[in-house]
Structure 1
Amino acid sequence: MYIDDAQYQLDRFSKMFWGLTRFVLRDKAVFNEQELSFSLNDSPVHSVETGDYQLNTKGRKELEKATLYRLSHPLGEYVIEAGKALPTPPAELVFDITNHPVKISVVEALKGKSGYLILKKLTIESYETEEYLLFNAFTDDGEPIDQEVCEKLFNCQAKVYPLKDWSKSVEKRLISEAERHVAANIAKSLEKNNRHFQEERERLEKWADDLILSAERDLADTKAKIKELKRQERHATTLVEQHEIQLKIRELEKKQRRQRQQIFDVEDEIMEKRDQLIDELEKRMKQKTEQETLFMIRWKVV
């Protein structure tokens, strides 16, 4: 079944989610492609009731008494987990670009060609978790196909056929190229982390300089005022005038002590921020990676 006009108005993510839902629930629901809805006859989740569901999309009239179906719904979560658990032995996929509703030039350029493809999932854990889906593919003539073309290839409908034979030499090349792709992404991630660290360090240093400079400027201003008041005190002609000036000096000296303490506090805060930055760097240096081969296929474009 091909994607109709109503479905093609969906964004790419929603299309994939809808397609996966149709596959996982194919024996448990009746689907209405035009309304992007389905009637669930047999619920696979104890907490999910049978009945009508409609894909949550913007600008579409909602069906009465239909439950909005989205990724965060328990049924949607079940569909995702079920999809991830599906076995993916090597198979042949025949992609149909001829009947695709929109033109995809890079895929049309592959029409009549065939070859092999591998998809790997790379997870990098350091300060934060990064996940990548990495394609590697080539034609029967040995011509490599880049990541973007592979992604667009999977926008097309395809038929799946069992694979009669699987070449170990082909598998070896796929794995070798995938390993290089993985290594390149790990290096890119390290470079990005390093760039982020350098930017954070420069931002911290500027912040620290501004903070110290401001505190020292305030202290210098107070010192100058005290110095001026002491000069005035020496030239005071009455005890009352001297007393008033001494009171002002006393208040400014208290302020001066507070400002000196403030500089120490600022320096402590800067050291704490630097320690946090060092901790972050150490976490990034302890980078852990995990890779998983999701599938290997023989492909053909018609």
Structure 2
Amino acid sequence: MKEINKSSSKGTKKDDLYHVLHKVPYGDSPYVRAKHAQLVEKDPEAAIVLFWKAINSGDKVDSALKDMAVVMKQLERSEEAIEAISSFRGLCSRQSQESLDNVLIDLYKKCGKIDEQIELLKRKLKLIYQGKAFNGKLTKTARSHGKKFQVSIKQETSRLLGNLGWAYMQKMNYMMAEVVYRKAQMIDPDCNKACNLGLCLIRQARYEEAQVILEDVLKGKVAGSEYDKSRKRAQDLLTELRSVLPAPHFSDLLGLDDDFIKGLEHLINQWAPVRSKRLPIFEEISSFRDQLAC
């Protein structure tokens, strides 16, 4: 009996390890089989069919709809994924609506549906303003690359504003993009939004303002500027900016101010002999006229 218990215990641990490694849930339901097809067999088409079965049978509908949309996006079937979410999100719980909106925003980006993206982002920001986001809580648990972390309302607001600013950039509405980016940076600044704001100002030919913001990233004054990727982007934008700046005046190169230059010119005029301000051709005509008079 002890040997049987030991072997069953080993089998259980091995089974647990399998599920942990592949991040596959337990059981044999349509949703579990869909996740197995997606993560273990690497067969996205089969996974979509099984996700559909899970939705139709009421098996983990929240997760099945979200996961199916993500797989469809990977297969360049984003339009179909948008239609699926729009049609079946009514079957999902209230708690899942926020995460479905986030998937929908990514799908709108993928399809180039900028107006729809802007409308959805505004709606999500309005929910925050009304105190309805995060199901009334101040933080929520998010997941990225398999890791869980806490997100505050403040961080979420800044993130959504950053996405909204980029959507306005795609529509070349740089004035609105600037307003939104500046609001985002006031709430929760980071180097990615700083670079986007710099780009927005460059597109408006406001080079000096853009230069200050981008140099702050390189000087490490903005959160996240310690990452090489962020610094490289800021440097690339500064290079682009300098390529469109007008060539500096000679006096600018010397570091001389306007008052000093004017004073120097006045002094030179005092030292130099008085010269006629007429063009040389008129001087020649005048002397010829004097000879005729004689």
Query: Could you say whether these structures have the same fold, taking a TM-score greater than 0.5 normalized by the shorter chain as the test?
Result: no
More strand by share: 1
Higher RCO by CA contacts (8 Å cutoff, separation 6 or greater): 1
Q: TM-score, normalised by structure 1?
A: 0.23
More helix as a share of residues: 2
Instruction: Calculate the TM-score normalised by the size of structure 2.
Output: 0.24
